[in-house]
């Protein structure tokens, strides 16, 4: 068998890299999706005071004893308190305060009656319902208690978590900086998009695909351009940008051909080779090295192979480096709706469409160089080495690669 296992490859990559992700302070609205760099405790309670959950009247519950539509109780309306205000005076028996949703419950009151159960009087109010103490009473700290651990270092910020920080008055938040990834697509055959295509050349589909995949993972990506497709030019380009990145990804130049220059690039850099070739198909000839404690991962240049390599190798490596569990590939199982009659000598990943536990092969082009059929798919089927084929109704392992449809 050519190559190490995918799991061994991931172990080697995780062991080799020693990056140091810095911390930065961001305004809350700019921090969504970022990883918290420290624990956050509640500096205040929320709500910060006992408050009314509705529009009505606050009073002492004992004063409403026996009140009903037929036998209303009359209370003197001592004042009014709106949300955002504070009612200073103490409320005594036989007194009520008109109160709006969110306003602090005045001292002496222990309940709030909704205005629909009163005559909405402004000098005196008729109470049509008896309440118990703390009916319609929202306690200070009911949502969050002062001193409570709100959010932990390592958590990923979401709109709700940012709302929680805002409710505590935090204006900024300390988060980890995004992972910085460099991307360089190699290959003499590649023509930049927008230019005329000469005979024998193809357009560079990998660059924008990996660039936008990386952006979706919250990576700060830098797309590199080199002058010439030679080992010297590539090594020089990588070296020049090495301090600006945490992880370098290349495509192409990793196979056994005469222009598979990445082997020489590693030597020119003086990088330590970690492995070459993983026992998977497509994308076998992955080449990995470590240089100045950062990873250089060379992916296959075939578009589908590069995409599968990204999902199977780059994604878990990024999840590990950023300690962002949510970036890990999503593994599940599904039942085959079609058959796949090919034998697999190596462990093979084929593209498929997964929905409601069912796995469909909705196309018949599994070639490494073919990208179009991947746009119809959202999953990779993980076929073990030595498989003689997949049958209808068979349970298979699946990795979801696009859960948005």
Short-list 88, 122, 89, 115, CA closest to 101: 115
Q: How far is the CB of 387 from its own copies (least distance, A)?
A: 21
Q: How far is the CB of 143 from its own copies (least distance, A)?
A: 4
Give Cβ neighbours of residue 169 (< 8 Å, ≥ 6 apart): 43, 44
171: helix, strand or coil: coil
Residue list 340-399, contact with its own copies (CB under 8 A) = 365, 367-372, 374-375
Please select the residue that binds its own copies; options are 7, 341, 364, 403, rule is CB under 8 A: 403
| 16 vs 141 by CB, closer to its own copies | 141
312: helix, strand or coil: helix
Short-list 355, 351, 315, CA closest to 332: 355
Phi and psi angles of residue 374, each rounded to the nearest 5 degrees, phi first: -65, -25
C-alpha pair distances (Å), 262 with each of 154, 236, 251, 287, 356 = 35, 12, 9, 8, 42
Residue list 104-123, contact with its own copies (CB under 8 A) = 104, 115
Q: Is 401 exposed, middle or buried (0-12, 13-18, 19+ CB in 10 A)?
A: buried
368 in Cβ contact with 283 (< 8 Å):
yes
Q: How far is the CB of 101 from its own copies (least distance, A)?
A: 6
User: Of all helices (H) and strands (E), which one includes residue 41?
Assistant: strand 40-41
304 in Cβ contact with 254 (< 8 Å):
no
Q: How far is the CB of 17 from its own copies (least distance, A)?
A: 24
| 213 vs 294 by CB, closer to its own copies | 213
Residue list 325-344, contact with its own copies (CB under 8 A) = 325-326
Question: What is the CB neighbour count within 10 angstroms for residue 227?
Answer: 10
Residue list 182-241, contact with its own copies (CB under 8 A) = 187-191, 193-195, 197, 199-213, 215-216, 223, 229
Please select the residue that binds its own copies; options are 258, 341, 364, 388, rule is CB under 8 A: 258
| 388 vs 403 by CB, closer to its own copies | 403
Please select the residue that binds its own copies; options are 151, 245, 296, 398, rule is CB under 8 A: 151
| 345 vs 367 by CB, closer to its own copies | 367
Give Cβ neighbours of residue 174 (< 8 Å, ≥ 6 apart): 23, 24, 25, 36, 37, 38
Residue 249 interacts with its own copies (CB under 8 A)?
A: no
Residue list 299-328, contact with its own copies (CB under 8 A) = 301-303, 307, 325-326
Q: How far is the CB of 292 from its own copies (least distance, A)?
A: 28
Q: How far is the CB of 272 from its own copies (least distance, A)?
A: 26
Residue list 50-89, contact with its own copies (CB under 8 A) = 51, 53-55, 80-86
| 153 vs 223 by CB, closer to its own copies | 223
Please select the residue that binds its own copies; options are 91, 113, 131, 156, rule is CB under 8 A: 156
Stretch that binds its own copies, among 15-23, 48-56, 123-131, 287-295 (CB under 8 A): 48-56
| 221 vs 290 by CB, closer to its own copies | 221
Q: Please provide the distance, in angstroms rounded to a whole number, between the alpha carbons at the two ends of the chain.
A: 36
| 130 vs 221 by CB, closer to its own copies | 221
Which token pair is 398? 């699946």
Residue list 123-142, contact with its own copies (CB under 8 A) = 138, 142
Please select the residue that binds its own copies; options are 78, 161, 176, 346, rule is CB under 8 A: 161
Kindly give the residue spans of alpha helices, DSSP state H, lying in 136-274: 159-167, 206-216, 231-241, 262-269
Number of residues that bind its own copies (CB under 8 A): 100
361 in Cβ contact with 59 (< 8 Å):
no
| 135 vs 143 by CB, closer to its own copies | 143
Q: How far is the CB of 345 from its own copies (least distance, A)?
A: 14
396 in Cβ contact with 387 (< 8 Å):
no
157 in Cβ contact with 32 (< 8 Å):
yes
Give Cβ neighbours of residue 7 (< 8 Å, ≥ 6 apart): none
Q: Is 285 exposed, middle or buried (0-12, 13-18, 19+ CB in 10 A)?
A: buried
Residue list 4-43, contact with its own copies (CB under 8 A) = 28-29, 32
| 269 vs 287 by CB, closer to its own copies | 287
């Amino acid at each position: 068998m050519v190559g190490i296992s995918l799991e061994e490859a991931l172990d080697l990559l995780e062991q080799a890299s020693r990056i140091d992700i810095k911390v930065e302070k961001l305004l809350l609205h700019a921090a969504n999706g970022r990883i918290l760099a420290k624990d956050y405790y509640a500096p205040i309670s929320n709500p910060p005071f006992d408050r009314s959950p509705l529009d009505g009247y606050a009073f002492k519950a004992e004063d409403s004893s026996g009140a009903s539509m037929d036998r209303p109780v009359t209370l003197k309306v001592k004042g009014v308190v709106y949300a955002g205000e504070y009612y200073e005076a103490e409320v005594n028996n036989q007194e009520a305060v008109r109160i709006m949703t969110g306003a602090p419950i005045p001292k002496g009151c222990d309940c709030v009656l909704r205005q629909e159960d009163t005559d909405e009087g402004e000098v005196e109010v008729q109470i049509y319902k008896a309440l118990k103490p703390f009916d319609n009473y929202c306690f200070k700290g009911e949502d969050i208690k002062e001193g409570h651990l709100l959010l932990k270092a390592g958590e990923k910020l979401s709109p709700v978590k940012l709302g929680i920080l805002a409710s505590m008055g935090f204006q900024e938040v300390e988060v980890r900086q995004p992972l910085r990834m460099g991307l360089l697509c190699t290959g003499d055959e590649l023509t930049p998009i927008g230019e005329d295509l000469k005979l024998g050349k193809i357009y560079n589909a990998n660059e924008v695909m990996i660039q936008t995949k990386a952006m979706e993972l919250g990576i700060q990506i830098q797309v590199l351009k080199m002058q010439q497709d030679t080992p010297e030019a590539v090594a020089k380009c990588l070296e020049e940008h090495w301090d600006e990145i945490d992880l370098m990804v290349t495509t192409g130049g990793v196979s056994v051909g005469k222009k598979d220059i990445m082997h020489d690039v590693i030597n020119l850099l003086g990088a330590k080779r970690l492995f070459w070739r993983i026992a998977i198909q497509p994308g076998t000839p992955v080449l990995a090295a470590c240089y100045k404690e950062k990873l250089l991962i060379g992916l296959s240049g075939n578009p589908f192979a590069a995409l599968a390599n990204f999902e199977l190798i780059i994604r878990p490596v990024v999840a590990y480096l950023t300690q962002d569990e949510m970036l890990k590939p999503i593994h599940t199982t599904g039942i085959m709706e079609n058959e796949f009659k090919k034998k697999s000598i190596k462990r093979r990943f084929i593209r498929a469409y997964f929905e409601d536990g069912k796995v469909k092969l909705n196309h018949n082009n599994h070639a490494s160089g073919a990208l179009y059929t991947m746009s119809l798919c959202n999953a990779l089927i993980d076929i073990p080495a030595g498989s003689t084929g997949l049958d209808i109704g068979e349970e298979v392992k699946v990795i979801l690669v696009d859960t948005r449809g």
